[in-house]
Structure 1
Amino acid sequence: MKKFMVIWTSQAISLFGSAVVEFALAWYLTIKTGSATILATSMLVAILPQVVLGPFIGPYIDRWDRKRIMIVADIAISTLTIGLAVLFWLDAIQIWHIYIAMAGRAVGQAFHFPASMAAVTMIVPKKDLTRAAGLNQMIQGVITIAGPPAGAFLFGILPIQGVLMVDIMTAVIAVLCLIPIVIPHPKQATDKPSTSIIFEMIEGFRYIWKWKGLTWLIGLSAIISVFIAPAIALLPIMVNQALAGDVLKLGWIEAAFGVGIILGGLLLGVWPGFKNRIITCLTGVILCGLAATTMGLTSQGWFQVGLASSFIVGFGMSFANGPIMAVLQATIEKNMQGRIFSLMGSVSSAMVPIGLIIAGSTSDAIGIGPLFYICGIAVMMTGIILFFVPALMNFENQMKPHLTELVQGE
């Protein structure tokens, strides 16, 4: 785990810098334009590269050295950030410059995330994969809590080009930490003929489709994204409607969500969950759905209910997402993981804007409280129903002997 801890620490620092910059750019667009359309466009620009390019990126991650991919991605993202900083310093910045930089950063992240997840399996023993996933969930919680306030603080005391320099410095630290680490490359099948990128991309789709347990698992991840992510994004609307727009209470609810993720990740880091990691995952899904449902009860008199529910949603998400990643890392063949993680990222990313569109119109029609009831019950029922799907419950034990056949299409 020593190599993992070095990479984990360096990437945590880099992710923190990225969170600060993303907040700063979003806030800059908000105060300079006041346009919801421009802000929404920036969000789409940051999501679409992963959705569109993910399937094509995966084969390259399986072909190329994963450490080099992470280093080049960090350097490329930093180069874009330097370009933005120069434009801000010259007072030559335009909105389209920010869009291009955000799209470029998203492309870099589309390479970096699956490469880092696939690299973990090369340096972490299988028995420790759930602990590693728990630590990754924990750092997401820390960034959720600390990133926006840090970005706001730095935005208040520095010019925006100074805030952007934070991302550059954290990326340099991440790259310097990665350089001395040796990450083995997965062995490729020696009897497999040379194939094109498109063929290997299609092979990734076939791999998922023929492995029914994997199809169910990716479907579960998509359901979480389509129901829970929009609900969390609409927390400001809930606070405005149910808590008289008290921004301090919004801060407490969002902080409780982040603390839940952190403590859930810490617990997974100490106790890796049930022997069957799917049980741990589905338990987290049910907790998450139940808490999202009770969050709909939030009101001036029941603020504590909303606070506790937000905490449990975060805690449940750690228990849902951590084991999903650990199961995938432990069971998918190492020379296929780049494709699978990229495809999974594409599906999950695509679900977020779809969920936001549906949730926004539904909330306007029936209110924010009933929206939380619908989202929470849908997630909770999904978790309960999946306990009765043998292909998913036997995912780790039943399907592993057939992986090679699935890849070869026999």
Structure 2
Amino acid sequence: MNNLPSALRALRHRNFRCYFIGHAISTLGTWIQQVALAWLVYRLTGSVALLGLTTCMALLPQLLVGPFAGAWIDRHDKRRLLILVESLLGLQALVLALLTAGDWVTPTLLVAMATLMGVLNALDTPLRQSLLSQFVDDRADLPNALALNAMLFTSSRFIGPPLAGLLLGVFNEALCFALNGASYLALVVGLLLIRITPTARAGGSYRNVLGEGLRYALGNRQVRSMMLSVLAINVSASSYVVLLPVFARDIFAGGATTLGWLWGAAGLGSLLSTVFLASRLAVDSLPRLILAASCATALALLVFAWSDLLALSLAAMAVIGFGITVSNVGTNIVLQSNAPEALRGRIVALYTSIRFGFDAIGGLLAGLLAARLGAPPVLAAAGVILLGYCIWLGQRPRATAEPDKSPAASADD
């Protein structure tokens, strides 16, 4: 493993390899389920608003639970918690498969199951992200580990949706849910094989632990600026996910296979972005790159919104996937590279709560507005809003990292 290229250097660490293989299988199952759930909701109801509500409830708990989960995570053994949460996610998927196979699903039940998944993901995402620093023995390899972790997500996003489209065309949604449930076993096994020394847990009252993390985030100008950018791109650009089934069926006169190709094109762009980020060694240049990627995303949204050519729309989807992922993953790399170890769980939880929470809010708004105005105008408006934010941000002085004055940071340094 010592001969691996620089872009894969984090895989030299045994613990990270165990996690990487298990998470690769689990993430592929997650994307298959996401496409199947969206198609099931739209097939049963034909409601764009319900699509937005379902997507929102799968993500909104990240915003509501995430900041509080971070303080809780830093007070407990992260690996044991993650094994428990992954097991519950697998059980949720298997129950959903059983309900679908038995024809017992209703719109209300689907929203409830999406909400349960969202609550579990509000714990799962910051747990996994905050543990990555313990899976690599050299802190210098942490940015590469974060990029490779994101590459798993994006490569599965490229492969999973088209595969889900094929499975839906031949079988049904229940099989997709069952495959996802089984996929969590791989990550649980990988986590059981990992050998790490638990880090010191945060002491003091829960309120003080939570307040310490918030003071760090609000007191650091670079953290504030990057969190705002994450909010902007996810509340606007990420809303495309909710509207894709509408474009697939109503604009391109297709079905589940067309939806899979559109989602796969965005996944290809995301995959290329993580390959690009994994090959980079400098963290300092990422804020400028994030701004450029956000501008490209805004322009691609405008192209996709008004295109009725599938080939052009697939290309626009690839650019959108590339830009959103560069923004989100690049921000995560900068935040985790600079965050004190003692505060890592809380900073990651705050980032993920904004990342997925405002993704949920944007998706809900997009679904409600599209039900009245149509999908193309709503997606075009999202592009205009994001472009306006990029112009405003580009005119501001660039935020630089500030030294942290918190006691935890001083001890960590």
TM band (smaller chain): 0.7 to 0.9
Letter in 2 for 1:219: L
Whether 2:182 is the aligned partner of 1:169: answer yes
Compared with structure 1, are the counterparts of its residues 275 and 26 closer, same or farther at alpha carbon in structure 2 (3 Å cutoff)?
Answer: closer
Quick check: 1:331–1:400 contact (8 Å CA) kept in 2?
no
Question: What is aligned with 1:226?
Answer: 235
Quick check: 2:16–2:132 contact (8 Å CA) kept in 1?
yes
Deviation at 1:260, TM superposition (A): 1.1
Question: What is aligned with 1:402?
Answer: 405
Deviation at 1:171, TM superposition (A): 1.0
Compared with structure 1, are the counterparts of its residues 285 and 133 closer, same or farther at alpha carbon in structure 2 (3 Å cutoff)?
Answer: farther
Secondary structure of residue in 2 paired with 1:402: coil
Letter in 2 for 1:318: T
Question: What is aligned with 1:347?
Answer: 354
Question: What is aligned with 1:317?
Answer: 324
Deviation at 1:367, TM superposition (A): 6.7
Secondary structure of residue in 1 paired with 2:405: helix
Quick check: 1:274–1:280 contact (8 Å CA) kept in 2?
no
Quick check: 2:162–2:263 contact (8 Å CA) kept in 1?
no
Compared with structure 1, are the counterparts of its residues 372 and 94 closer, same or farther at alpha carbon in structure 2 (3 Å cutoff)?
Answer: closer
Residue pairs, 1:13-32, within 5 angstroms? 13-32=25-44
Deviation at 1:109, TM superposition (A): 1.4
Whether 2:278 is the aligned partner of 1:269: answer yes
Distance, in Å, in 1 between the alignment partners of 2:147 and 2:288 is 15
Instruction: Name stretches of at least 5 consecutive residues in structure 1 with no aligned partner.
Output: none
Distance, in Å, in 1 between the alignment partners of 2:369 and 2:109 is 34
Question: What is aligned with 2:17?
Answer: 5
TM-score normalised to structure 2 length: 0.81
Distance, in Å, in 2 between the alignment partners of 1:104 and 1:330 is 31
Question: What is aligned with 1:292?
Answer: 301
Quick check: 2:234–2:355 contact (8 Å CA) kept in 1?
yes
Deviation at 1:364, TM superposition (A): 7.2
Whether 2:142 is the aligned partner of 1:142: answer no
Quick check: 1:119–1:183 contact (8 Å CA) kept in 2?
no
Question: What is aligned with 1:337?
Answer: 344
Compared with structure 1, are the counterparts of its residues 30 and 197 closer, same or farther at alpha carbon in structure 2 (3 Å cutoff)?
Answer: same
Compared with structure 1, are the counterparts of its residues 66 and 9 closer, same or farther at alpha carbon in structure 2 (3 Å cutoff)?
Answer: same
Deviation at 1:61, TM superposition (A): 1.0
Letter in 2 for 1:17: G
Letter in 2 for 1:50: Q
Compared with structure 1, are the counterparts of its residues 63 and 237 closer, same or farther at alpha carbon in structure 2 (3 Å cutoff)?
Answer: same
Aligned residues: 397
Compared with structure 1, are the counterparts of its residues 287 and 38 closer, same or farther at alpha carbon in structure 2 (3 Å cutoff)?
Answer: closer
TM-score normalised to structure 1 length: 0.82
Deviations 1:114-147 (A, max 9, x none): 0111111223344333333332333232232332
Letter in 2 for 1:122: Q
Quick check: 1:16–1:147 contact (8 Å CA) kept in 2?
yes
Quick check: 2:35–2:260 contact (8 Å CA) kept in 1?
no
Letter in 2 for 1:312: V
Whether 2:142 is the aligned partner of 1:129: answer yes
Quick check: 1:46–1:103 contact (8 Å CA) kept in 2?
yes
Deviation at 1:66, TM superposition (A): 1.6
Whether 2:229 is the aligned partner of 1:217: answer no
Question: What is aligned with 1:182?
Answer: 195
Greater alpha carbon shift after TM alignment, 163-172 vs 77-86? 77-86
Residue pairs, 1:149-168, within 5 angstroms? 149-155=162-168, 162-168=175-181
Deviation at 1:238, TM superposition (A): 5.2
Deviation at 1:329, TM superposition (A): 0.9
Compared with structure 1, are the counterparts of its residues 84 and 368 closer, same or farther at alpha carbon in structure 2 (3 Å cutoff)?
Answer: closer
Compared with structure 1, are the counterparts of its residues 202 and 172 closer, same or farther at alpha carbon in structure 2 (3 Å cutoff)?
Answer: same
Whether 2:74 is the aligned partner of 1:62: answer yes
Distance, in Å, in 2 between the alignment partners of 1:254 and 1:94 is 25
Secondary structure of residue in 2 paired with 1:400: coil
Matched-pair identity in %: 24
Distance, in Å, in 2 between the alignment partners of 1:286 and 1:268 is 18
Greater alpha carbon shift after TM alignment, 274-283 vs 313-322? 274-283
Deviation at 1:173, TM superposition (A): 1.1
Compared with structure 1, are the counterparts of its residues 186 and 14 closer, same or farther at alpha carbon in structure 2 (3 Å cutoff)?
Answer: same
Quick check: 1:283–1:319 contact (8 Å CA) kept in 2?
no
Greater alpha carbon shift after TM alignment, 127-136 vs 370-379? 370-379
Question: What is aligned with 1:203?
Answer: 212
Compared with structure 1, are the counterparts of its residues 367 and 304 closer, same or farther at alpha carbon in structure 2 (3 Å cutoff)?
Answer: same
Instruction: Name stretches of at least 5 consecutive residues in structure 2 with no aligned partner.
Output: 1-9
